[in-house]
Structure 1
Amino acid sequence: MRSDRLHETLLPKRLALPIFASDALSSVAYAPDEILLMLGIAGGAFVMSHSWQVTVGVILVMVVVVASYRQNVHAYPSGGGDYEVATVNIGPKAGLTVASSLLVDYVLTVAVSISSGVQNAATVLDFVRGREVVVAVVLILFLTAMNLRGVRESGMAFAVPVYAFMVAIVGMGAYGFLQEFTGNLAPAESAGLTLVPEGDETITGLAAGFLLLRAFSSGCAALTGVEAISNGVPAFQKPKSRNAATTLLLMGTLSITMLTSIIALSQWTGVKIADDPASQLLRNGQPVGEDYVQHTVIGQLSVAVFKDFEVGVVFVSIVTGLILVLAANTAFNGFPVLGSILARDGYLPRQLHTRGDRLAFSNGILILSGAAIVLVIAFKAEVTALIQLYIVGVFVSFTVSQVGMVRHWTRHLRLERDPKARARMMRSRVINAIGAAMSGTVLVVVLITKFQAGARYAILAMALLFALMLGIRKHYERVSQELAIDWESDKPLLPSHVHAIVCISKVHKPTMRALSYARASRPSMLEAVTVDVDADETRALVEEWERRQIPVTLKVLASPYRSITRPILDYVRSIRTGNPRDLVTVYLPEYVLGRWWEQVLHNHSALRLKARLLFTPGVMVVSVPWQLASSEGAERDWIDMPPIPGSVRGGGGT
C-alpha cells in the first residue's frame, strides 16, 4: 500500500471498538473466575458475602480510570498515550518507566489471552488437551500474520467474533435477570456442592482482609486494555480525540455491564469454583475427587441460563474461546505503535519506527509475537502462572500518567484566564487526581499481594527494559555527536594522494573489469595485489601477468600461514602509517551467484576481506561485481518489475 493511502487505514468507531477494546472486554471472561477463586480459599460463605464488595471496588476503579483516560485522549491525541503524558509533564525517566511497563504488559497480554483461550478450548476439544503450548504458538503466529496484513484488515476480520461475544454475554445476562425476577432461573451445576476453606480452617481478621485485597487485585485484570485506546488515537478517523473518547466510554460501559451481570448471576445460581476443587468441593460431605471437571464461571452460567436452549450454551462457549484469543489483538495494535514512538525518540532501534508494505508497523508486530511465544513456551501456556505477572505494568502506567495529567492541568491553569475554561480544567484535574490516587492504591495492593507469586519477574523485566532503552538512547546520542560536523574545525580537506589497490587471485574477466574501473578513476597510484598462499599458482599468475603485458604493477604479498585477509590488511595499514593524509581505495572483484546452493561452493574471501577493511580508517572499499549466467534470471526479475507510478526508472551502475 502506498504511503498516501494511510488515511484509508483509519478506523471508524465500529471497527476501533473490537480492535482496541477486545482485551478489556475479554477480561470479563476470566476476571470473575479470578475473584471467586481467590475468595473461595476462605469457603463458600465468604464468597457469597464478599464477592459483591470486591466487584463494586473493581467497578469503581474502572469508572474512574475510564473517566481519567477520556481526559488523556483529548489532551494528548498524538498517540503517545501514557508515555507522552509522563514524559512531557514529569520527565523522560518517568516516560521511560511507563513505556517499559506497557511494553512488558502488552507481551503478557498476548501470552495470557492466548493461553486462557487454549485452556478453555481444551475443556471441550480433546485434541487440544496435552498440546496447549503448540496450539498457543500456532494461534500467535496466526494473529501475527493477520496483523501484518494491516490494522484495518485485522479489525474487519476480528470484529464479528468480538461483537458476537458482546451479544452473548449481554444477552445471557438480560435473559438470566428476567429468569431470576420471574423465578425460573435454574441453579448452576456446582450449586449442590459445598465449598470448604482451604486447609479446613476459617479465615478471619487480617488474613481475611489480605484475601479480599488479593481478590480485588486479581479482579482488576478487568482494567487491562484501557490504555490501548489512548495509545491508538492516531488510528481513529477524524475527529480523532472525540471518537477515541466515545470508544472508551462504550468499552467501559460494556465491561461494567457484563462484569456486574456475571457476578450477580453467579450468586443467584450458586456457582462454586475452587483453586483445588478435588479437596475443597464436597458432595454429600465427601470430596469430589480428581475426576471432577471444574468448568469456568461463564460455562456454568450458560448451562444454567440456557437450560432449555442448547444452541445458546454452544454459542456462548465458542465466542468466549474466540474473544480470549482475539484479546491479544489489542496488544498487536498497541505495542507496535508505542514501539514506533519510542524508536522515533531514540529509545528503541529505528527499524521499529517505519511502517511495512501494508502500512503496519511490521517489525514491532514480529518482536511482540516472538516475545509472547517465548513466554508461552517458558510457562507452558498455564494461565495460573502467567496471571501472577499480569496487571503490574498497566497500573504503573495508570498511576504515573494520571499524576502527569494532574501536573498538565496545573500548568495550564497558571496561564488560562477564561473562567469557563478554568472551571473545565479544574474539573478535569479533580478527575485525574482521583484516578491517580485509586490507581496508586491498586498498584500498592497488587505489589503486596502478587510480588512473591510472580509479579517480581514482571518488575525485573521492566527494569531490564528500562536500562536497555537508556543504553540505546545513549548509543544514538554518541553516534550523532560523532557524525555532527563542526564547520569551524572540521573543514573538508582533499587527500594528498589516492593509492588504489586491486586485489586479484587470477587473471580472468572479473579481474580485468576491476582493473579497468580502477584505471578509469585515475588514482595517484595504482597497483594490483595478490597473496602468495600457493607458490606454483602464484608463479603461474606472475608469468601470465607479464605475458599479457597488463599495464599495472603486480605486487605479491607473502603469507607463511596461508591467510589471505591478514597480509592485505597489514599492507593497507602500512600505506596509511607512512602517509596519514593519503586515501587507500581497495577494489574487490566479485562474481554474483544466482542460485542459493552455489554459495556453498565458493569461499567468499572477498566478502570476509571487505568486512575487515570496513573497520580500517582512511580506507575505501569498492566492490566490482561480475554477474555469472546463473544470476541473469534474478536480474531480469528485478528489471521486469512494474514501475512505481509517478517515478522514472533510471540506469546507472551495478
Structure 2
Amino acid sequence: MSISLKRLIVGRPLSSDRLGEQMLPKRIALPVFASDPLSSVAYATQEILLVLTLGGLAYLYLAPWAAAAVVVLLAVVVVSYRQVVRAYPSGGGSYAVASRNLGPGAGLVVASALMVDYVMTVAVSVAAGVDNIISAVPALGPYRVAVNLGFVALLTAMNLRGVRESGRLFAVPAYLFIAGVLSMVVIGLLQTAFGRAPVAESAGWQVHAESGEAGLTGLALALLALRAFASGCTALTGVEAISNGVPAFKPPKSRNAATTMAVMGGLSISMFAGITALALIADVRYAEDTCQLVGFPGDCATGSQRTVIAQLAAAVFGGTDTVMFFFIQAATALVLILAANTAFNGFPMLAAILAEHRYLPRQLHTRGDRLAFSNGIIILAVVAGTLIYAFDGSVTRLVQLYILGVFTSFTLSQIGMVRHWNRELESATDPAQRQQFHRSRAINAVGGCLTALVLVVVLATKFTHGAYLVVIAMPVLFAMMRGIRRHYDRVARELQPKPGGIVLPHRTHAVVLVSQLHQPTLRALGYAKVTRPDTLTALTADVSEQEVSALRAEWEERRIPVPLTVMSSPYRDITGPVLEYIARLHREHPHDLIAVYIPEYVVGHWWEHLLHNQSALRLKARLLFQRGVMVTSVPWQLDSSDRAAAREAEAHAGSPGAGSKVG
C-alpha cells in the first residue's frame, strides 16, 4: 500500500504520547463497546419466532416465556459482569478472570471462545444489518454477499483510524437506533392501550409446520422451547466487551465501565422486551423458508420476508412508505452493521493481551499509526469476511455458530469470580467488607449456574445446526495458542545467555559472493576488507564457462587484491555450490566465524523486485540455517530507489511531529 493511499484510509500517524487522548468518555464508550448487545435486540425476537413456527402457529404461546427467561438471564449476566469490571480494571475480562483464578488452561478456553464469538459478532451483525437494508430496498437482494463484504471493509478502515475517531462516528447511529426503537415500542403500546393495536403485514398468514414438528408433546415440546430460548440468547452477545475494554475508558475506569454496563443492560432489556411484546400483539409471522408461509405474496422461492423489526415499524407507523419506517430501517441497519465495532474493539485488545502473554504472535501487541492494534483488526476482518462469503451472508445460518462461545466464556468467568471472592474472604476482617464480598460471590454464583445451564442447552439444541463447527474451532485455537507459547518458551530458553559473558570466535573468514564484477561487488569487497577478517575470499559459481572466463580476465585486469574462488556447477545451480563451500569451510574451522557478504540492488518499484535479487534471497534463506555463519547484505541503491526515498521523505515531512526525534 502506497504512503498516500495509506494516509487516505488510516489518517496521519499519532505519537505514542497521545494514547491518553484516545480514552473514551461514557457517552462514546456506550456505542463503541455496547453496540452489539444493544443492536442484537433487532433479531433476537426474530430468532425466537423462527424456531417456534417450525411447528406452525400452535407454539407461539411459548414466546413470552422464552423472552422472559432471556430477560432474567441478561439481567443476571450484566450484574455479574459489573463485579468483573470492578475486580479487574486492567482489562481482559473473562480471560483475565479465568486465567488468574482457574489457571492458564481455563484462560485459554475462554480466550478461544471469545475469539470465535468476536468473529461471529462481525459476521452476524453485518449480515443482519444488510438484511434490514434489503427489507427496505429489495432490489439489493442478489448482491447480498458483496454488500456484506463492502461493509466489513468500511468498518476495518474506520477502526484502523483509531478508537476515539471511529467512536464518534458510531455514536450517532447507536443513539438514533435506541431512540427509534423505544419510540416505536411506546407508540405501539399506546396504540394497543387505546384499542388500535398495530397489525403486522404477516398477521393473516398461516405457517406450514415442518415435517415431524407438528403436535409435539412432552420432551419434544420442551426441547423446542429450549431451542427457542437458546436462539433468543443472541440478545446477550457482546455483554462482556465492556469488561475486556476497561483500559479504554477515561478515569475512573472501573466506575465508568460499570456505569456504562448498567445503562447498556437497562436499554437492552427494555428494547428486547418491548419488541417481543409488540411482535406478539401485532401477530408477526416469521419463517426460515418463505414457502412455509401461506399467503406470502409473490414467488416464495425467490422472494424474501421483511424482518420482524421492519414489520413492526410498518405496522406502528402506518406502512412501508412512511418516513418513520425508513428511519427505523436505516437506524437498525446502521447500528447492526456498526455493532461489529464491539468486536473490532474487543478482539484486537484481547489478542494484544494474549500476545503479551506469548500465546499469540507478538505482532498483535503492536499498535499501528493511529494507536489501534492494527494487525488484530485486519485478521478479524479477513476471517469474518471469509465466513460471510462461505455462508452467503445468511443470518439464520451464521447465527447457529453464535453464542456457544459466549456462554463458555460467561460460565468460566463466573466460576472464576466465585474463587476470587473466596480468596478475598480469607483475608478480609472488616464485617462490612465481608458482607459485600458475600453478596458479590452470591451474584457470581447465581450467574455461573444459570450460564452453565444455558451452555448445556445451547450445545444440545444447536449442535447439529452448525454449532459443531464452533466445537471444532475452539480446541483448534486452544492447541494453536498452547503451541505458540511452547515455541516462545523454547526460544527464550535457547537465547538465555550462557555463563562467562561474550564468547569470541577464534578467527573470522569473510566470503563475498560474486556474480559479475560491478559496483555492488566492489562495495561488498570493500566492506568485507574493512572488517579485517583473517581470510577473505570472493566466491562465484561456474554456471557458464564463458561468463567465468570473462570474470577471471576482468578480475586480473583490474588487479583485485582478493583471491577469486570458482565452484563447479554442472547443473547450473548457484545455491548448491555456495552452500557446499560454506559447509566445508565450517567443517574445517568449526570454532571460527564465517561472514558471508551478499551484494544486493535496492529498487524503487514493486515490479523491479521481480527482476533483481531473487538468487540473493534464496541464498540468504538457506544460509540463515547454517550454524556459525553470519550473513550481511550489502545494498546498492539504484536511481529508482532514490526517487522512492525522496517521495517517502516528502510524505513523512507532512506527518505531524516529523523530525522531532533529533536529540
Range into which the TM-score falls when normalised by the shorter chain: over 0.9
| Cα pair 1:576 1:582 within 8 Å, conserved | yes
| Cα pair 2:209 2:292 within 8 Å, conserved | no
Q: Distance in 2 between the 1:637 and 1:315 partners? A: 46
Pairing 1:304–2:328 present? no
Task: Name the counterpart of 1:460.
Answer: 472
Q: In the alignment, residue 315 of structure 2 is paired with which amino acid?
A: A
Q: In the alignment, residue 555 of structure 2 is paired with which amino acid?
A: W
Task: Name the counterpart of 1:231.
Answer: 244
Question: Structure 1 residues 618, 81: CA separation in 2 closer, same or farther (over 3 Å shift)?
Answer: same
Task: Name the counterpart of 2:377.
Answer: 365
Task: Name the counterpart of 1:648.
Answer: 662
| Cα pair 1:40 1:197 within 8 Å, conserved | yes
What is the correspondence of 1:556-635 to structure 2 with a 5 Å cutoff? 556-602=566-612, 604-635=614-645
| Cα pair 1:76 1:85 within 8 Å, conserved | yes
Give the superposed CA RMSD. Answer: 2.0
1:235 Cα deviation after fit = 0.6
Q: In the alignment, residue 87 of structure 2 is paired with which amino acid?
A: A
| Cα pair 2:136 2:329 within 8 Å, conserved | no
| Cα pair 2:513 2:540 within 8 Å, conserved | yes
Provide the secondary structure at the position in 1 that maps to 2:595.
strand
Pairing 1:315–2:327 present? yes
Q: In the alignment, residue 487 of structure 1 is paired with which amino acid?
A: P
Q: In the alignment, residue 246 of structure 2 is paired with which amino acid?
A: V
Task: Name the counterpart of 1:476.
Answer: 488
Q: In the alignment, residue 317 of structure 1 is paired with which amino acid?
A: Q
| Cα pair 1:194 1:281 within 8 Å, conserved | yes
Q: Distance in 2 between the 1:192 and 1:598 partners? A: 68
Task: Name the counterpart of 2:525.
Answer: 515
| Cα pair 2:418 2:441 within 8 Å, conserved | yes
| Cα pair 1:188 1:303 within 8 Å, conserved | yes
1:187 Cα deviation after fit = 2.2
Question: Structure 1 residues 638, 269: CA separation in 2 closer, same or farther (over 3 Å shift)?
Answer: closer
> Unaligned regions of 5+ residues in structure 2, if any?
1-13
| Cα pair 2:135 2:305 within 8 Å, conserved | no
**Deviation per CA, 1:404-424, whole angstroms, max 9, x where unpaired?**
000000011001111111100
| Cα pair 2:131 2:307 within 8 Å, conserved | no
Question: Structure 1 residues 539, 250: CA separation in 2 closer, same or farther (over 3 Å shift)?
Answer: same
Q: Distance in 2 between the 1:87 and 1:303 partners? A: 48
Question: Structure 1 residues 506, 273: CA separation in 2 closer, same or farther (over 3 Å shift)?
Answer: closer
Provide the secondary structure at the position in 2 that maps to 1:97.
helix
What is the correspondence of 1:52-201 to structure 2 with a 5 Å cutoff? 52-195=64-207, 197-199=209-211, 201=214
| Cα pair 2:56 2:214 within 8 Å, conserved | no
Pairing 1:268–2:278 present? no
Task: Name the counterpart of 1:8.
Answer: 21
1:486 Cα deviation after fit = 2.9
1:555 Cα deviation after fit = 1.7
Please, which moves more after superposition, 458-467 or 580-589?
580-589
Question: Structure 1 residues 544, 46: CA separation in 2 closer, same or farther (over 3 Å shift)?
Answer: closer
1:547 Cα deviation after fit = 2.4
Question: Structure 1 residues 231, 538: CA separation in 2 closer, same or farther (over 3 Å shift)?
Answer: same
Please, which moves more after superposition, 140-149 or 516-525?
516-525
| Cα pair 1:278 1:292 within 8 Å, conserved | no
| Cα pair 1:179 1:185 within 8 Å, conserved | yes
Please, which moves more after superposition, 552-561 or 87-96?
552-561
> Number of matched residues?
644
| Cα pair 1:341 1:353 within 8 Å, conserved | yes
| Cα pair 1:279 1:287 within 8 Å, conserved | no
Question: Structure 1 residues 186, 559: CA separation in 2 closer, same or farther (over 3 Å shift)?
Answer: closer
Provide the secondary structure at the position in 2 that maps to 1:557.
strand
**Deviation per CA, 1:124-180, whole angstroms, max 9, x where unpaired?**
324421111111111100100010001111111111111111001100111112111
Q: In the alignment, residue 300 of structure 1 is paired with which amino acid?
A: Q
Q: In the alignment, residue 609 of structure 1 is paired with which amino acid?
A: L
Q: Distance in 2 between the 1:479 and 1:26 partners? A: 45
Question: Structure 1 residues 306, 564: CA separation in 2 closer, same or farther (over 3 Å shift)?
Answer: same
| Cα pair 1:198 1:280 within 8 Å, conserved | no
Please, which moves more after superposition, 632-641 or 576-585?
632-641
**Percent of aligned positions with the same letter in both sequences?**
54
1:434 Cα deviation after fit = 0.2
Pairing 1:417–2:444 present? no
Q: Distance in 2 between the 1:114 and 1:24 partners? A: 14
Question: Structure 1 residues 503, 416: CA separation in 2 closer, same or farther (over 3 Å shift)?
Answer: same
Q: Distance in 2 between the 1:148 and 1:37 partners? A: 37
Q: Distance in 1 between the 2:293 and 2:609 partners? A: 65
Q: In the alignment, residue 262 of structure 2 is paired with which amino acid?
A: L
| Cα pair 2:601 2:612 within 8 Å, conserved | no
Q: Distance in 1 between the 2:490 and 2:23 partners? A: 37
Residue in structure 2 matching 1:202, options 211, 215, 228: 215
> Unaligned regions of 5+ residues in structure 1, if any?
650-654
Task: Name the counterpart of 1:27.
Answer: 40
Please, which moves more after superposition, 300-309 or 565-574?
300-309
Pairing 1:295–2:306 present? yes
1:629 Cα deviation after fit = 2.4
Q: Distance in 2 between the 1:354 and 1:58 partners? A: 39
1:603 Cα deviation after fit = 5.7
Task: Name the counterpart of 1:240.
Answer: 253
What is the correspondence of 1:436-447 to structure 2 with a 5 Å cutoff? 436-447=448-459
Q: In the alignment, residue 243 of structure 1 is paired with which amino acid?
A: N
Question: Structure 1 residues 64, 504: CA separation in 2 closer, same or farther (over 3 Å shift)?
Answer: same
Provide the secondary structure at the position in 2 that maps to 1:501.
strand
| Cα pair 1:118 1:128 within 8 Å, conserved | no
Q: In the alignment, residue 122 of structure 1 is paired with which amino acid?
A: I
Q: Distance in 1 between the 2:284 and 2:563 partners? A: 93
Provide the secondary structure at the position in 1 that maps to 2:536.
strand
Provide the secondary structure at the position in 2 that maps to 1:77.
coil
Q: Distance in 1 between the 2:402 and 2:215 partners? A: 29
Provide the secondary structure at the position in 1 that maps to 2:596.
strand
Please, which moves more after superposition, 537-546 or 612-621?
537-546
Report the TM-score, using the length of structure 1 for normalisation.
0.95
1:637 Cα deviation after fit = 3.6
Question: Structure 1 residues 430, 530: CA separation in 2 closer, same or farther (over 3 Å shift)?
Answer: same
1:527 Cα deviation after fit = 2.0
1:451 Cα deviation after fit = 0.6
